[in-house]
Structure formats: C-alpha cells, structure tokens
Structure 1
C-alpha cells in the first residue's frame, strides 16, 4: 500500500470513527433529555389539555414514551457495536473471504455476500424486535399480535424481500460490471422506476398479503368522505378499512398508491374511536398534503438525493481507500461491487444523521400546512379533538423535550400544533 493510499485509508477510518462516536453521543444526549423532560412533567397534565386529557392517560403516555426512549438507547448502543463489528473490526471482510473460499469469485459469491449480510443483520435485530412487540407494546396494551402472526409476518417479509430483492440486486450488480463508468446513472434510473412501480402495485399486490382491506360500508361516512374529496378536487380508486386491530391498538389513516391507483385507507381502530366529523378532519389533513403537492415534492427530493448518492457511490467504488478505510480488504482479482454496496449502505447513515434535523423541520412545516388546509375545509375543533383522541389512544406524550422534537419529530408536538389550530380558528372567527 502506497503512502498516499495508506494516509487516505487511515483518514477515512478516523473520520468514520469520529462521526460514529459523535452521532452516538448526540443521540444519547438527546434521548436522555427526552426521558428526563417527559418524566419531570409526568405528574401534571399541561394546562391546555387539563379539561380533555385525564391524568391517568397523560401518565400512561409519559411512561410509554420513556420506555420506548430507553429501548431506543439500547438499540443505539447495539447498532453502533454491530456497525463497528461489520466495518472497522473486519466483519464484512471476514464474511467476504469465507464466501470466496467456499464459492470462488463471481456474481454468485457477490449475491451470497448480500444475502448473508441481510440474514445475519436480521438475526441480530430479532431479539429487540420481539421485545418491542411482546414486552413493551404488550405492557401498554397496544400489541394484538400472537407469536404465530408475528412469525408469519416475518416469514412473509423475508420471502417477499427475497423474491423482489434478489433480482434487483443481481441486476444492479450486472449494471455495475457491464455498463461502464456511468453504471450509477443507469442504476439510478432503474431504481427510481422500480420505486414508482412499487407505489402503484403495493396497495393491490403487497399490502393485502399482510392485512385485509374491505370497502368502507358505512354509507353515511362514505357519503361524507366522498363529498369532502369532491369538494377538495381529489379522486381515489376506493375507500377501504384495514384490519389494523389484529396487530395493534394504534389508530391511523393514510393514502396509498400513486396516480390512478390512489386509495384511502382507514384503520378499523380509527373508525371505532372518531366521530364522522373528526374522520372528515383527519382525511382533510391528508388531502392537504396532496393539495400542497407534498408527496410530489418528497418524490422529487428522493430522486435528487438518490442521484447524488448513486453518483458518490460510483466514485467510491473505484477508490481502494474506501474499502480499506472501512475495514475491508478488497478482492484483487475480481469485482468488489457487492462490498461497495454494503459499505456505502452502512457508512452513509452515520454522516447523513447530522442533516436529519433539516428534513424533520421540513416535514413539520408540511404538517402545519396540511393542518391549515384541513381547518379551511372542515373545522379546527373537529381536527383538534380528533388529534387529541389519537394522541391519547396512541399514548403520545404531550410534553416532549423541545430540542428532541426539533431534531427528530416529523410531526409537530401536540402543544404547538393545537395552539396553531386555535389561532387559525380565532382568525377565521
């Protein structure tokens, strides 16, 4: 290894280790702030909610938030240790060498490396996933899944991932080897096309493998929802109720699909908890995202960011220091494309973590805009009461740490969100 290459490799190792350490310290600091702040405000309902949220519900939300945050700290520590094991401590390099010795060099070995990594990573994540579902969610009354259903979901996800992921991985590896120095551009075009296709086929082909989707049968609610969508200039392929209650007591509503394949989906738990005007208000909020073109803006942003990512990966695949700096000895006699994909996938989140607050802030801005649209089409009072019911039923804390919110929350905190709605209602009056 030349002095220049050695210097570049050591520099990357140091920068990566420093970024990982800094991100871990920041995550632990923010998580600890959240735990302390929520615990300190556990014994009193905020004045703005004193007449609508009981102390018992407020305390349940606080306890649930703290429990999730503590589990999150454990996940962070485990994730950082596993990441170091895969990279700087040589885990991926050892796995790659073992597969080379067993299978020889070639496309088969590269695919096997990707599959083995996914299997080992999934196995490492399983205990915490089980704990979250059957201990944490169970303790607070949210889990409705049996172990058999959880296992069936796991197997279905693995099978679907293999049926879809293996051909995609094979095609991208082929592009990397066969389409020259601009392979990343062709791979990006394919990846974007696949994601757009997935938006179309997911509602009708994939989602029904996990849940049942029945047409909305309540004629009164159907008429209200249809009238609201017509008033907002929105059309959908259908109104459906999803059996979310077979897995969780959490409630939600969402749009899915793209173009002519758009669907409106209500969790059965949502319809059981909200009045018809409140359902209208929640739906109007979702319509607000479409009216403000938030979905299109996010897709365009995803296109731009992924293009930059593929271009960067195209450059890094040609740099030996990229492999050695992340603890991997590249193959000297064959392609290292699978190694490059894995290393890039592992290293990128370490650095992108520091710009996450910018995207969270943009998301919160979009939520405020969608709220404003919902208020203009329905009622601030109905939207407020609907959100309060959802906060209570989902045990969402009303007193999160403001700095934690700024860094992580994709939706505004309850106090700020409802205060804005009251301001909109006052202005309208």
Structure 2
C-alpha cells in the first residue's frame, strides 16, 4: 500500500510536468498567435517577447519540478530516516520534532534558493518586472524567517503535543487549524502585511469617491482605501479587499494606479467588490476548512495504519506525519482541476457584478487587456493545462463573457 502511494506521488508529479511541457509547446510554438481582440494593441515583436518570457518561466518551473521530484524521492527512501536519527538528541519527541521540521525547512530553502534568485534577478529583471534590490530581498527573507520562528514555531510545538498526547488527535488539530484560519484574517492585514509593504491612504479624491461608492453598494465598510507600494518589488498589478471586522482594508497596488485610468480602476475594484458581495471569501474559508479537516482525518488514518513505519523504516510520529503529508497531498492534488473550475465560475460572477454595477463592461475589458499585456501573460494556454492550473478564466473567456453585457 505504501508503494502505491509512492507511485501515485510520482504519477502526479510527472503529470504536472507533462502539462507544463504540453502548455509550453502549445503556447510558445510557431502556431501560437495574438488573439483577435488584441491584434490592435500587441504587435508581432511584442508577442515574440511574450512568448520568450513565458517560455523561460515555464522551463524554469519544469526544471524546478523535476529536481524537486528527484530530491523528494531520495528523501522519502533515504534522507528522512537518517534525519530522524540525527535529531533524536533528547528524550522529548516534541523538541526533536521541532528540530526535524526546522532542518527540513532549511534544506528546502537551500534547494529552492537558486531557482528563486534566477527567477527574480534574471528572468523577471531582464523582462522589466523585478524592481527588488538584493538588499530588499535579504530583508524580506530575514523577516519571513523571523515570522516563521515566532508564529509557526509555537503552532508546530502545539500540534506535536496534540499528536503525541491525544489518541484521536485529528479532532483537536482540526479545531486548531480552523481557529488559525480565522485569526489569520485579522493578524495578516493588521500586523504582517505592514512589515513588508507601506500602506498610504489614497490621495486622489475623485477616484476615492468612485471606489467608496462601489464599496458602499457592496456593503463593505472600510475606514480608508490604501495604496500599497508594490512597485518596490515588482511591476505586476492588482487590487484586493482583505481582513475581517475592524481590520478590513481596501488596497490598490501603486502600479495599478500608474497603468490604468480611473474608470478602469473602478471596474477592477468593482470586480473585487463582486467577490465580497458573493461572499466568496467566506465560501473559500469554508471549502478550505473542509478540505483541511478531510486531510487531517486521512493523515490520522494513514498514521494508524503503520504503512510508513513498516515500509520506510521510520518510527517517530512527526516523521510519519511528514510522509503522510507528502503522499496524501499528492493524492488530493489530482482534484485541483475541479477546484479551479469552481474558482473560475467565481471569477465570472465577480466580472458580471462589475459589469452590472458600473454599467460599462468595456471598462473592465480595457483594464484586463492592459493588465494581461503589461504582465506578459500567456495569451494561448493549452486548455488541459488551464483546466488544472488556472484559478481565473483565460483572457479570451473573460472578454467574451463581458461583451455579452454590452
């Protein structure tokens, strides 16, 4: 049975790599062309640059996935067992478990660092997206490590205590996971996001009044509309609602203000308001909670079965837990296409709300064209790849639906 899980893990990883290769050939080959609705805005020279950018990004992702798969398999059969022995320096399994996961985090960081650096400071830099300095990259990294120690450390210790002291540990652990999810809605926008970005009130009075009107119609009560200094890291654009209760924020990337006019920003904002009106955030929390509880329960069953202990020769619960997370995670990832299909329906609904509340769907169409163009997005994704990996509809699908409201 354990061998079956390993085979599923390998099959899922290889299938993901196959999808990326399929998408690479389809979207960057000679037959790929500028969609009809963008021919007046993107010339052939620009499109060739789009294809080169997406080709480099996809190839890096394929190399990273392949390398990670090989490394993970070697860890499953060799390294994790040895690491379990190395960290067993005390009689307290909770302390040893913390050392075990800390060591894995360090190893994962070392393995992923070259790919991250090449992505940010080579690909993204050459195509004009990355604006992050090496100093800022290091500061972000140090802050992330500090947060990991301060927040994840106690949570991990508490989880391990439950694991070792409660027989039906999946029940209190599930409750803890749900509580952390709810707290994150307050903690992240209030304390964590300001550590990485500066949020200043929107100064454009006309635009602020437009957005406040949309927010009022949506029933979203936020004290201020903020502009985030996203441009210090990247030229990509976005806008979002975040937080719960008094921590609610309406946030615009400064790059969005530079790229779009007021009517287009209003349309983008109306799309985000549509998510709030449709209670998509709450639905996502409920769905993700059910998903996490199901995984926690399956992990409990998996650990009770002794499959990992017998097949891989590991003994500690924290090691077995990691094996379960890797193998069951691979199994659940097979269903991501259906989850993304639901997500795409959610995005269509938000687009529909934006078209209805502004009365001008062409403004959102114009904004989407600018964003996709400025981000050098893949304009010709393979349908099968998009089904499994796209949480948003393709640009072509979104525009076709929006134009129905004209």
User: Under a length normalisation based on structure 2, what TM-score does the superposition of the two structures give?
Assistant: 0.96
More divergent stretch after superposition (58-67 vs 398-407): 58-67
The SS at the match of 1:135 is helix
Query: Are the structure 2 counterparts of residues 43 and 305 from structure 1 closer, same or farther at C-alpha, using a change threshold of 3 Å?
Result: closer
Q: Does 1:262 align with 2:243?
A: no
Residue deviations 1:101-141 (CA, integer Å, cap 9, x gap): x4455321121111111111111111111111111111111
Q: Is the 8 A contact 1:237 1:261 kept in 2?
A: no
User: How far does residue 42 in structure 1 lie from its aligned partner after superposition?
Assistant: 7.1
1:342 aligned residue (310, 322, 334): 322
Residue deviations 1:132-151 (CA, integer Å, cap 9, x gap): 11111111110101111111
Aligned twin of 1:98:
86
Q: Does 1:210 align with 2:204?
A: no
- How many angstroms apart in 2 are the aligned matches of 1:312 and 1:27? 23
Q: Is the 8 A contact 1:31 1:69 kept in 2?
A: yes
Q: Is the 8 A contact 1:323 1:343 kept in 2?
A: no
Paired residue total: 405
After TM superposition, list the pairs within 5 Å mapping 1:223-238 onto structure 2.
223-238=209-224
Q: Does 1:410 align with 2:391?
A: yes
4+ residue runs over 6 A deviation: none
- In the alignment, structure 2 segments of 5+ residues that lack a partner are none
The SS at the match of 1:51 is coil
User: How far does residue 363 in structure 1 lie from its aligned partner after superposition?
Assistant: 0.7
Query: Are the structure 2 counterparts of residues 258 and 340 from structure 1 closer, same or farther at C-alpha, using a change threshold of 3 Å?
Result: farther
- How many angstroms apart in 1 are the aligned matches of 2:307 and 2:19? 33
Q: Is the 8 A contact 1:244 1:269 kept in 2?
A: yes
1:329 aligned residue (302, 308, 314): 314
The SS at the match of 1:410 is coil
More divergent stretch after superposition (180-189 vs 363-372): 180-189
User: How far does residue 348 in structure 1 lie from its aligned partner after superposition?
Assistant: 2.4
Aligned twin of 1:384:
365
Aligned twin of 1:6:
none
Aligned twin of 2:2:
12
User: How far does residue 160 in structure 1 lie from its aligned partner after superposition?
Assistant: 0.5
User: How far does residue 377 in structure 1 lie from its aligned partner after superposition?
Assistant: 0.8
Aligned twin of 1:147:
134
Aligned twin of 1:56:
45
1:132 aligned residue (92, 99, 119): 119
Aligned twin of 1:333:
none
- How many angstroms apart in 1 are the aligned matches of 2:68 and 2:405? 43
Residue deviations 1:4-37 (CA, integer Å, cap 9, x gap): xxxxxxx312x12321332233222211221111
Q: Does 1:368 align with 2:342?
A: no
User: How far does residue 267 in structure 1 lie from its aligned partner after superposition?
Assistant: 0.6
Q: Does 1:186 align with 2:172?
A: yes
User: How far does residue 225 in structure 1 lie from its aligned partner after superposition?
Assistant: 0.7
Q: Does 1:117 align with 2:104?
A: yes
1:173 aligned residue (160, 173, 179): 160
- How many angstroms apart in 1 are the aligned matches of 2:340 and 2:300? 28
Residue deviations 1:275-296 (CA, integer Å, cap 9, x gap): 1111110011011111111111
- How many angstroms apart in 1 are the aligned matches of 2:366 and 2:30? 22
Q: Is the 8 A contact 1:199 1:257 kept in 2?
A: yes
Q: Does 1:158 align with 2:145?
A: yes
- How many angstroms apart in 2 are the aligned matches of 1:66 and 1:328? 42
Query: Are the structure 2 counterparts of residues 295 and 371 from structure 1 closer, same or farther at C-alpha, using a change threshold of 3 Å?
Result: same
- How many angstroms apart in 2 are the aligned matches of 1:372 and 1:218? 26
Aligned twin of 1:7:
none
- How many angstroms apart in 2 are the aligned matches of 1:104 and 1:123? 29
The SS at the match of 1:317 is helix
- How many angstroms apart in 2 are the aligned matches of 1:104 and 1:222? 60
Q: Is the 8 A contact 1:58 1:398 kept in 2?
A: no
- In the alignment, structure 1 segments of 5+ residues that lack a partner are 1-10, 331-335
More divergent stretch after superposition (37-46 vs 241-250): 37-46
User: How far does residue 307 in structure 1 lie from its aligned partner after superposition?
Assistant: 1.2
User: How far does residue 212 in structure 1 lie from its aligned partner after superposition?
Assistant: 0.6
- How many angstroms apart in 1 are the aligned matches of 2:395 and 2:26? 15
- How many angstroms apart in 1 are the aligned matches of 2:28 and 2:215? 42
The SS at the match of 2:335 is helix
